[in-house]
Amino acid sequence: MSDQMRIAVLVSGGGTNLQALIDAQAERKIKNGFLCAVVSSKEDAFALSRARKAGIPEFILARKDYPISRQYDEALIRLLDKIGVDLVVLAGFMNVLGPDFCSKYKNRIINVHPSLIPSFCGDGFYGLRVHKAALSCGVKVTGATVHFVNEVTDGGAIILQKAVEVKDSDTPESLQMRVMKEAEWELLPKAVSLFCEGRLQIEDGHVRILE
Ligand code: GAR
C-alpha cells in the first residue's frame, strides 16, 4: 500500500460525505489511494463515529481552541505533516483555510460544495444557507460542485459538477438531502479517485480529466 496516495478527510459535522468516501473505499472505487486520517474541527462531530467504525485514525483539532484562524491553519499543517498526507479532502469542513495552508497544499485540496458554482457560493454560503438562498432565488435547478481549493472561497478550479432538480414543495432540508444523494455522494469519491489516479490536470485554472 506504500505507493498509494494518503488521503486526509477534514470534517465538522454529520459526515455523510465522509461516509460516501468510506463506502467507496470498501467497494474499491478509490483507485490508488486510501483514507489515512479523519480530522474534525469540532469535538462532537458525528463524522468521528463514522471514522471510528471504519477503523480510520481520527484526530480532533477544535477550531474553538484557536482564537486566530492563522494559528489554526498552522496547527493543522503541523498535524498533517505528522500524519503524512498527499491529498486533503474537505467534506463538510466549515472553516475557511488561509493562504499559508492553501499554498502548502496547492492543487492538493479538494472541496465539495452544495451548489453549481459560481451560484450560491463564497463567504457565508455553507450548509443549509446555500439551499435557503437557492430556494429564495427561485432557481429550478441546483446541484453540487467538487473543486480544488485556493485562497478564494469556493473559487478554485472545478473538477466535477452535477445538476439536481428543485421541486416546488422543497424545503432547505429536503433540497439539501436530494443534492447530497443525487450529486455530492457520487461526485466526491469520483473526484478523489481521479486525483489519486493522477488523472486531473490543471491548465490555466481549468481542470482537464485525462482518459
Ligand atoms: C454538505 O452538503 C457539504 O456540501 C456542505 O455541508 C454539508 C456537510 O454535510 N459543505 C459546505 O457547504 C461547504 N461550503 P456532511 O457533514 O454530512 O458531509
User: For 28-38, what is each residue's pLDDT tens digit?
Assistant: 999 999 999 99
Query: What would the pLDDT profile of 176-191 be if each residue is shown by its tens digit?
Result: 999 999 999 999 999 9
CA dist 84 and 82 (Å) reads 6
d(CA 100, ligand 1 centre) in Å: 23
CA 181 to chain CA centroid, nearest Å:
15
Tell me which of 42, 180, 181, 185 to substitute to probe ligand 1's pocket, judged by most ligand atoms within 8 Å of the beta carbon: 180
Closest ligand 1 atom to Cα of 47? 16
What percentage of the chain has pLDDT greater than the value 90? 99
Share of the chain above pLDDT 70, in %: 99
Q: Is the pLDDT of residue 2 over 70?
A: no
Pocket of ligand 1 contains residue 113 by CB under 6 Å: yes
Could you confirm whether 113 is annotated as catalytic? yes
User: Which band of pLDDT confidence, cut at 50, 70 and 90, is reported for residue 1?
Assistant: very low
List, in sequence order, every residue forming a beta bridge with 90; answer none if it has no partner.
Answer: 10, 111
Q: What structural domains and CATH numbers belong to the chain? A: 5-209 (3.40.50.170)
Residue 143 Cβ contacting ligand 1 at under 6 Å: no
A 10 A CB-CB count for 136 gives 9
**The ligand 1 atom nearest the CA atom of 92:** 8
| Grid cell listed for 142 | 441546483
Whether the model clears a pTM of 0.85, i.e. scores above it, the answer is yes
Q: Return the SS3 of 35.
A: strand
Phi/psi for 70 (5° steps) reads -60, -35
Q: Does the C-beta of 114 come closer than 6 Å to ligand 1?
A: yes
pLDDT at residue 3, rounded to an integer: 87
Query: Could you tell me if the CB of 155 is within 6 A of ligand 1?
Result: no
Atom from ligand 1 closest to the CA of residue 45: 16
- Does the Cβ of 93 fall within 6 Å of ligand 1? no
* pLDDT single digits (tens) 96-153: 999 999 999 999 999 999 999 999 999 999 999 999 999 999 999 999 999 999 999 9
Question: What's residue 194's pLDDT?
Answer: 98
Average pLDDT over all residues of the chain: 97
Per-residue pLDDT at 199 = 98
What average pLDDT score do residues 48-56 get?
98
Sign of CA dihedral 19, 6, 106, 49: positive
Give yes or no for residue 198 having a pLDDT over 80.
Answer: yes
